[in-house]
Amino acid sequence: MAEPSTTGTGEGFFDGPLPRILAHRGLATDAPENTLLAFLSALAIGATHLETDVHASADGVAVISHDADLERTAGRVARIDELNFDELNRVDLGHAQTYPSLEEALDAFPEARFNIDLKSDAVVIPAVEAILRARAVRRVLVTSFDNGRRLRAVHALPGVATSASAVPFAGALFAVKLGLVPLARRLLRDVQAVQVPERVRGVRVISPQTVRRLKAAGVEVHVWTINAPADMRRLLDLGVDGLVTDRADLALEVVRAAHSGTE
């Protein structure tokens, strides 16, 4: 039997004009990060894409949290995977917010597009099930640093959008630096985007040449985590397709100013 294709279309998630502003953990200027209030705050100022992260609770619920534990965000010495969802959902994060489930967030914001980072092997099945129950395949992108984890989710969500994991991207970056765009295209054949920092361990990832060649390989280029307006303008001038940012409010102002010709 032939292996199922992992090639998604990205239809839905990639609808709409460029550039894409991905609100990193929502907009947390007046709300705890990765909460329903942070997502609402981002959407209220005009963001269409929400970047978030999921871990699995002890009882197998996909819970929205960047960290694997509660120490930084809740001041508690405990791990997400040590607590049931009901316990996590009672934790006070401030502003009457708590840890939401992925399904809650997808249901609460049915028009929003979610960029979902799968933070553990244990969360793959709960996240897939939440996406399917919410009928949200067309408006999510699933990704992970770990390629096997990403592929398991993509196989279970036919047509879902996805971005490159670390290992295939490293090969594609090497190829584009050598000008081997067809090789990069083959290495990135199952993804629609690369989501990367400007530098990795001192190696420059984003340059006019790499942006141009990655786009020629057929993928969008999203850069994280960009919070200074001057950096936003510089990267957009290089032709990047998306900014992952803690300050979606500032990024949207930069985009609007550029479109109006006031910069």
**Rounded to an integer, what distance in angstroms lies between the CA atom of residue 102 and that of residue 63?**
6
Is 24 annotated in the active site?
A: yes
- 160 and 4 Cβ atoms separated by less than 8 Å: no
66 is catalytic: yes
DSSP 100: P
Residue 88 tokens, joined = 């996590």
Q: How far apart are CA 140 and CA 246, in angstroms?
A: 19
The active-site residue out of 24, 49, 55, 222 is: 24
Separation of alpha carbons 34 and 24, rounded Å: 8
220 CB-contact burial (10 Å; exposed 0-12 / middle 13-18 / buried 19+) = buried
Catalytic residue among 49, 55, 66, 259: 66
Q: Which amino acid is present at 225?
A: T
**Residue 169 amino acid letter:** F
Catalytic positions, written as ranges: 24, 66
